Structure 1
Amino acid sequence: MTGKSRLAVSALVLGITLPASALADPAPWSERAIKEDVDIDALAQSGEDAITVLQPLGEELFKAKFTTLDGAGRPDATRAIVPTKVRRKAPQAFQRLAGMDANSCSSCHNEPVIGGSGAFTANVFVSEGFESADFDTTDPQFSNERNTVALQGAGLIELLAREMTTDLRSQRTDLLARVRKSGQEETVSLETKGVSFGKLTAFPDGTLDVSRLEGIDDDLTLRPFSQKGVFASLRQFSVNATNDHHGIQAVERFGAEWTGSDDFDGDGHTGEISPGQISALVAFQATLPAPTRKQDLPDVWQQAAAKGEALFGTIGCSSCHIPELPLESLIFQDPGPFDTAGTLRQSDVKAPLELDLGTLDWVKALPRDDQGRVLVPLYGDLKRHTIADAANDTFGNELLAQRFVARDVFITSELWGIGSTAPYGHRGDITTLEEAILAHGGAASDSRKAYAGLTETEQQTIIAFLRSLEIAE
């Protein structure tokens, strides 16, 4: 029986008369969470402000509590990012270890505001999900436990990553052209926006030696999302997360075009989340205001924070947690230029949507350099680093590699907003900033040792500085 038929029968039973519009599916009181859609091809060509159209719908979807009427649940599919059928079905719809583990994006991203980070109680368990639909152990040999990261400023982060990827790939193209012309192999140092990504060697036959690249994949694509830095775009992140955490399959990956089925997860629902609805989720996340500095601090805190910020640079923390990176363009295209198969691509649409982040008041308030570029105050470098060693393995205690990234390698955490996002660490089991600093190993060992060698007063000024970086409520 259709939703409309069920509603009509209910009206007869109650002895009431409903207008024809109330018999539409979904009704105003429907328990469905996904109710509106957007034709993104039409929107892209309409001349309307895409942010104004998409952001409110995206916020509704981000806060919505998905139900089985929306297609929540995935009885025949795993959490894997590549559509994968289960070998053994899960006995429950909700299952914290293999998902689905939430019915709303905001149930995990909610501290101190919607889109923010999450408490330890909201931790997720990350595995590729190819073995079966569920597993019943928290043993780290089966999954990695991860804390929720904040999404504030994510649109600017993705734009920075796109520009840096484009720049690095241009350097590779120029290198290959020179080598073909000279007939001699050549090695160059790759650097963009002041961040070094190691060395690349090209040979006259067109082959490349990528063994000395640092902190980036061999294809020279920066992937700024997830704690391991393995997702290139908010769109890819959203398609992954809706399936993984909610059992909601995006048409652009799980639909008939890629899987041969309109109901890949076998829950009786087709077309669970459309390209337009994913674009709305992307628009909401991309327009979340960037973190800022605490206002109206007492004089003693302001003075301590100023000294701490200077010390933060002196002891080498700012070599990875770079205070600001310059951004050329504020036009956020969706789909993006580096979205790939299984995620809607620019070649799949008549024209990508263009969200002009420069129209947002919080973006207008950001500083600019003498070239007019926006200075994004992220305190990060969008690069992966080895962050643990034998002497200090707190940040390297996972047993599973993720997407071919070594277990002790993580992307630099952006520190903007860190004063609002306790607890710390990839598992969310570090309670203070000082504990987090002293947990650093590997490439950060020298900075950790320098911090440990400071006086207690000097150490406290660095904490004062970090505590001043907040997500505004």
Structure 2
Amino acid sequence: MKFPLAGALLALAIAALPADADDARPWQEQVLDGYHAFDPTAADTPKALATLIERGERLFKGKFVIEEGAGRPEATQAIIPTKRRRPAAESHQRLSGPDANSCQGCHFDPVLGAGAPFSSNAFVSEGFDAADFDTTDPQFSNERNSIALQGAGLVELLAREMTADLHRQRREALRTARRTRDPFRQALSSKGVSFGEITASPDGRIDLTKIEGIDSDLVIRPFSHKGVIVSLRQFAVNALNSHVGIEADERFGARWTGTADFDGDGREDEIGPGDISALVAFKATRPAPTRKTDLPEDWQQAAASGEALFSQIGCASCHIPALPLDSAVFEDPGPLDTAGTLRRAEVERPIRFDLAEFPWAKGLERDDRGRLLVPLFGDLKRHQISDTRNERLGNELIAQRFVDRDVFMTAELWGVGSTAPYGHRGDLTTLDEVILAHAGEATDARKAYTALQDADRQTIIAFLRSLEIAE
């Protein structure tokens, strides 16, 4: 299904006009101001882009109300449209949701778009159709702390480029195997991060048993604690349904479900692709975290020593200080968006804007090839982070999208000095505590940390505390 330019602009123009006198009242409580179709020109000029981001911020901060579709009495939080066996008894529910009135309700500390304390945790389940499973029992739901979105646009772009590298390596391995008529083993890596290896056979089969930290489709999904969300667009569509009960018609509308009111709340086509794009633009342009610049001299010296030790004891093997980005041009929808989100093939052209042009990006370093260095302190890879001797970071009982319960995405540490508490549940109060909770693949690094003198461990904390989200 295409969204012609003329039709998109007409829909936007109509949506901007008040349908009745109530729409023009400045004290109205609704967040949505009509249905916004996808508009590929929405970022073609600096003014247009600023308007798009401003609308995204208003949607992110806005407190949605029942009149515009908040709540989902006959639908679950599942990412695939799923009906409840019976309507929910209450409009809001902390366990199965909706558990918030706005995006800001889970992303506000220390600034808009960041994380939240333990009190704002969400409960993630597969979206059971019966209320009997709406429980904090870890057999049925995983409790999760909010992730900060600062720098998220750069993270998604890194994931896109790394996915393209891995897919190219897979194609080349298949071509080599066909040409030589022998199995060909191909190491998988991108931007210095290893993802194991594949073996291609001349008949087109690929042995995936030795891949590491990634799904079998070799797509890097950079968002969520488990690394299961591919894009900020998917993130927005998922979260609006799960946490607020606002359902995007690109997933829950008539095209996929056969009805414009899948959740049975009497409101059709609750949010259009134009507003999802506004949310994407707002999240993608959140400034990247930085380092504190006004530190006293003793902290500066401790942080410098701590950063060196951080690398020496092995922490930087997963928390890689910076990954190179070839292009900072962000496109929405992206190349990896799939069914359930608006896709590249469904639009005349994507919305485009260059993150490198934003003032906050000017301070990021570049390498000798001119690539932007994204200082995320991560590797966009999943790792086993707990084991039977130390299960502190593997305390979930159910898998999410087939990712083992003790496997999590490497947490990006940029901004970590501003995002306490720590861990996927947000119940580890200090950086020292979360480091000591590492196990599994991180066992050697944790042991090296514990073997340090207390003064040396404190320098690592000083370094991590210098990585901040600017307020």
TM-score range, shorter chain: over 0.9
**Separation of aligned partners in 2, 1:314 and 1:193:** 20
After superposition, residues 21-420 of structure 1 pair within 5 angstroms as 23=21, 25=23, 27-35=25-33, 38-41=36-39, 43=41, 51-133=49-131, 135-420=133-418
**Separation of aligned partners in 2, 1:408 and 1:281:** 31
SS in 2 for 1:354: strand
Change beyond 3 A, Cα 1:402–1:21: closer
Change beyond 3 A, Cα 1:345–1:179: same
Asked if the contact 1:55–1:281 (Cα under 8 Å) also holds between the matched residues in 2, the reply is: yes
Cα RMSD between the aligned structures? 1.5
**C-alpha displacement at 1:397, in angstroms?**
1.1
So what's the TM-score if we normalise by structure 1? 0.94
**Separation of aligned partners in 2, 1:453 and 1:185:** 45
Asked if the contact 2:36–2:271 (Cα under 8 Å) also holds between the matched residues in 1, the reply is: no
**Separation of aligned partners in 2, 1:44 and 1:26:** 24
SS in 2 for 1:364: helix
Asked if the contact 1:22–1:28 (Cα under 8 Å) also holds between the matched residues in 2, the reply is: no
Moved more, 129-138 or 191-200: 129-138
Name the counterpart of 1:13. Answer: none
SS in 1 for 2:186: strand
**C-alpha displacement at 1:51, in angstroms?**
2.6
After superposition, residues 445-460 of structure 1 pair within 5 angstroms as 445-460=443-458
**Separation of aligned partners in 1, 2:463 and 2:426:** 21
**C-alpha displacement at 1:88, in angstroms?**
2.7
Asked if the contact 1:305–1:462 (Cα under 8 Å) also holds between the matched residues in 2, the reply is: yes
Change beyond 3 A, Cα 1:104–1:333: same
Asked if the contact 1:108–1:148 (Cα under 8 Å) also holds between the matched residues in 2, the reply is: yes
Moved more, 242-251 or 135-144: 135-144
**C-alpha displacement at 1:356, in angstroms?**
1.3
**Separation of aligned partners in 1, 2:470 and 2:247:** 33
**C-alpha displacement at 1:176, in angstroms?**
0.4
So what's the TM-score if we normalise by structure 2? 0.94
**Separation of aligned partners in 2, 1:21 and 1:229:** 42
What letter matches 1:411 in structure 2? M
Asked if the contact 2:226–2:382 (Cα under 8 Å) also holds between the matched residues in 1, the reply is: yes
Aligned residue among 432, 435, 460 for 1:434: 432
Percent of aligned pairs sharing the same letter: 62
What letter matches 1:239 in structure 2? V
SS in 2 for 1:458: helix
What letter matches 1:440 in structure 2? H
- Structure 2 unaligned segments of length 5 or more: list them: 1-17
- Structure 1 unaligned segments of length 5 or more: list them: 1-19
Greater radius of gyration (CA): 1
**C-alpha displacement at 1:424, in angstroms?**
0.4
SS in 2 for 1:110: coil
Moved more, 85-94 or 456-465: 85-94
Give the total of aligned pairs: 454
Change beyond 3 A, Cα 1:103–1:228: same
Asked if the contact 1:26–1:35 (Cα under 8 Å) also holds between the matched residues in 2, the reply is: no
**Separation of aligned partners in 2, 1:148 and 1:305:** 27
Asked if the contact 1:44–1:352 (Cα under 8 Å) also holds between the matched residues in 2, the reply is: no
Aligned residue among 422, 425, 430 for 1:424: 422
**C-alpha displacement at 1:131, in angstroms?**
3.2
**C-alpha displacement at 1:37, in angstroms?**
5.5
What letter matches 2:382 in structure 1? R
SS in 2 for 1:394: coil
Asked if the contact 1:326–1:373 (Cα under 8 Å) also holds between the matched residues in 2, the reply is: yes
Show CA shifts across 1:332-378 (max 9, x none).
00000000001100111111100211210011211001111000000
Change beyond 3 A, Cα 1:26–1:391: farther
Change beyond 3 A, Cα 1:44–1:111: closer
Show CA shifts across 1:225-282 (max 9, x none).
0000000000001000000000000010000001000000000001111100000000
SS in 1 for 2:182: coil
Asked if the contact 2:249–2:273 (Cα under 8 Å) also holds between the matched residues in 1, the reply is: yes
SS in 2 for 1:164: helix
Moved more, 81-90 or 138-147: 81-90
**Separation of aligned partners in 2, 1:183 and 1:173:** 15
Show CA shifts across 1:405-462 (max 9, x none).
0000000000000000000011000001000000000000000000000000000000
What letter matches 1:181 in structure 2? R
